[in-house]
Amino acid sequence: MSLLFETLAAIVGTIAFSLLFGVPRKFYPYCGFIGGAGWIVYAGLLTYVSTPASAMIATIVVILFSRTFAVRERCPVTIFLISGIFPLVPGAGVYWTAYYIVTDELTLAARTGFLALKVAVAIVLGIVFVFELPQGLFKFAAKKPIKTEERKERENKDDLD
C-alpha cells in the first residue's frame, strides 16, 4: 500500500514540476506516467539491488519512455526527461549531507554525501546509455502520417461543419 501512495506522490510531483517547468498542458499525463513508472521501478528494485543501481535502472526506464513519447508526440525529449527524472533526483541525500555537516556529524555527512553522489552519477550514466541508442529504434512509436486523400476528406468535412 505504501508503494501505491509513493507512486501517486511521484505522479503528482512530476506533474507539478511539469507545470513549473512550463511543459504544455497536453503533455502532463505523459510526464506523470513517466515519473510514476520511474518511481515504481526505483522503489521496487531497492530490496534487490543497491540504491545507485536502482536509480540507474529507473533512469533507463524514464529515458526510454521519454524518447518514445517524444517521437510519438513529435516534440523535444527534454519535455519528458526533465520532468520524469524529478522523483529520482537525490535531493534528500543532499539535504541530509548538509544537515550532518552543520551538526558536526562528519562521518554521517560523508556517508550520505557519497551515496547522493553515486546516485547522481548513476542517473547520468542511465541517461547517457539510452541517448546512445539510435533514433530509429523509437520509430515504432511515431504516429502514422495522414495520407493526402484522407487529409482532403477531413478538410472538406470541416468546411461543411
pLDDT at 152: 62
| Domain ranges (residues) in the chain | 2-91+121-160
Mean of pLDDT values over 122-130: 94
**pLDDT confidence bin for 133, thresholds 50/70/90:** confident
pTM for the predicted model, two decimal places: 0.82
Which pLDDT tens digit goes with each residue over 1-49?
A: 788 999 999 999 999 999 998 999 999 999 999 999 999 999 999 999 9
Q: Which alpha helices (DSSP H) does the chain contain, by range?
A: 2-21, 28-45, 51-73, 78-85, 91-102, 106-131, 148-160
pLDDT at 136: 78
Position with higher pLDDT, 161 vs 138: 138
Which pLDDT tens digit goes with each residue over 81-115?
A: 999 999 999 999 999 999 999 999 999 999 999 99
Mean of pLDDT values over 142-158: 64
Mean of pLDDT values over 44-62: 96
pLDDT at 131: 86
What's CA 2's distance to the chain center, in Å? 21
Contact between 124 and 52 (Cβ < 8 Å): no
pLDDT at 149: 61
Q: Long-range contacts for 8-15 (Cβ within 8 Å, ≥24 apart)?
A: 8/36, 10/35, 10/36, 10/38, 10/39, 10/87, 11/35, 11/36, 11/39, 13/86, 13/87, 14/83, 14/84, 14/86, 14/87, 15/83
pLDDT at 132: 86
Cell of 18: 511539469
**pLDDT confidence bin for 146, thresholds 50/70/90:** low
